[in-house]
Amino acid sequence: MGLKCLHSILFLSFMSLLLSACGGEETSSNEHDASTDTNSEERKSLTMLFSFASSSIDPHQDFMGVRAGIAETLVKIDENLEIQPWLAEEYEQVDEKTWKFKIREGVTFHDGTPVDADAVKASFERAVEVNAAVASALKIESIEADGMEVTFTNEEPYPAFVSELVHTNASIIKTDADNISEQPIATGPFKIESFLSESEINLNKYEEYWATPAKLDEVTVKFNSDANVRALSLQSGEADIAYHLPPEALDPIESSNEHWVESVPSLRVHFLLYNQLSEPLQDNRVRKALDLIVNRDVMVEEIMNEHATAASGPFNPDFPFAGDSLTVNYNPEQAEALLEEAGYTKNDQGNLEKDGKELSFTIATYQGRPELPLMAQYFQAEAANIGVKVDIVTIEDIDSYLFEKQDEWDIATYSNLTAPRGDGGYFLNVAYLPNGGLNPGQINIEKLNELTQQINRTADPETRNELKKQAVSVIQEEVPHSFLLHPHIIVGVNERVKNWKPGSEEYYLITNTLDVE
């Protein structure tokens, strides 16, 4: 029986049991709806179900501020991944280190306070204070405010500065709010009514929004890490939009007249992250061998149901800086030869060992992206075929675990947006520099570090792209990661939803144009 068929059977069985168990509650809910005050029915509302829970909604430290339509940034990217003004009406580069932004007139925070250059300055000062990754990404030396103009001076020539301002953690918020982690005051089309940590955000329309007011009156964003529950919630009507659905759960949704599925190629890559603190993985031959036992085409077909593209590097192949498409061929025989070259031989049990120690790894995975545990299981089976032991651990908070428990894991299934602002320099900085915010594997490749620093100093787009191609070549040769596939963003949508579709950047989920019938 194929993997896809098995997943479908398991899912349908689970769905039947859960719907049967919930039958009584549905009757109760319908009775309650019939007795609800008719005034509430006049208000347009929508529920979105998301996969990754927020314990805080401080826009400077959590991603949901922009995603939920609460906060906004000075600039944003459009559907063509081009930078456009947002809270800034216009901007200019004064010299190689200095940038001037004119703040849009008429913008107010949710408490009615006008947004001017002083407010923007205060917001950025707080962002770099509370978030080291933001400070590292923005490289701000000083900020000057004058009326509606704010001027940033970078620590060094930094051509990518404007693209980094698209990051959701660069949101503009009111810094003297009482409880920013639960009740931030920002500028978006929706303001917070209430927030229950790791459970839900309740939003109300901000009537004085500076652009076209929101079409919806109320929005609820709920969180659930179980992909099957998200799929069932969409089918039962509990959710109008459900993010990150498992490919094996799509058949009943796509065959329904009440829903449709959006499958959007993303700017994300799923990969295996190798921990350089693991002694066997310090050998490039071992990393290359593990790379060779991954059949990407099988993963795309059997695990993703074709909702993905095989990966040969960190960047989506449509980007001009993605590098040459050096697809890694599935070759277990070559993998075994490399491991033999690295000094490993098979013992009586058929397991590889060196100096009396068997070659074994602990791989960490997480449920937030339901395909990643399946990929870990696939990798475990392929590794066993060549005599490599792999133990799987499933972690709830994967980021904290990878950084805080670096001596407990060897490999991790991981997923990152690699060019979320349309420029690959971001990923090279955070994933490969020794102090990068997304480098729990302690990667430190001198040639790659030098190329990344050179990219950071280069303004010419063509030269930057050529340097990024060179960086990709180094990554492909050194194999600090095994890139598996570029997944599609799979979203289930109720037919009542109008004027909305998911974007490849995964930033702008709740918008002022989103509507329902």
112 Rama sector, left if φ>0, alpha if ψ -120 to 50, beta otherwise: left
Q: Which helix (H) or strand (E) holds 357?
A: strand 357-358
* Residue ranges in the chain whose pLDDT is less than 70: 1-41, 325-327
**Nearest alpha carbon to residue 488 among 321, 240, 270, 230:** 270
Give the Cα separation of 86 and 73 in Å (integer): 7
Q: Are 506 and 489 in contact (CB under 8 A)?
A: yes
Residue bearing tokens 């990344």: 452
Q: Are 179 and 57 in contact (CB under 8 A)?
A: no
Residues contacting 388, CB < 8 A, separation 6+: 290, 339, 351, 352, 359, 360, 361
For residue 242, report the phi and psi dihedrals to the nearest 5 degrees.
Answer: -125, 120
The pairing of strands 88-95 and 268-274 is unpaired
Under CATH, which number does the domain 64-170 receive?
A: 3.40.190.10
Convert 134-155 into a string of H (helix), E (strand) and C (coil): HHHHHCEEEEEEECCEEEEEEC
Residues contacting 244, CB < 8 A, separation 6+: 50, 51, 227, 230, 368, 369, 370, 489, 490, 491
Which is the CATH superfamily of the domain at 268-487?
Answer: Dipeptide-binding Protein; Domain 3 (3.10.105.10)
3-state secondary structure of 278: coil
Helices (H), 72-131: 117-130
CA dihedral sign of residues 319, 321, 324, 327: negative
Q: What is the pLDDT of residue 32?
A: 37
Give the Cα separation of 106 and 224 in Å (integer): 37
Give domain 43-56+181-265+489-516's CATH number out of 3.30.465.10, 3.40.50.2300, 3.40.190.10, 3.40.800.10: 3.40.190.10
Task: Give the type of residue at 118.
Answer: D
Using alpha carbons only, what angle is made at residue 166 by residues 163 and 172, rounded to the nearest 5 degrees?
135
pTM for the full model?
A: 0.77
pLDDT digits (tens, 9 = 90+) for 71-110: 999 999 998 888 999 999 999 999 999 999 999 999 999 9
Domain with CATH 3.40.190.10 in the chain: 43-56+181-265+489-516, 64-170
Helices (H), 35-138: 38-41, 64-67, 117-130, 132-138
Give the Cα separation of 390 and 363 in Å (integer): 7
Domain with CATH 3.10.105.10 in the chain: 268-487
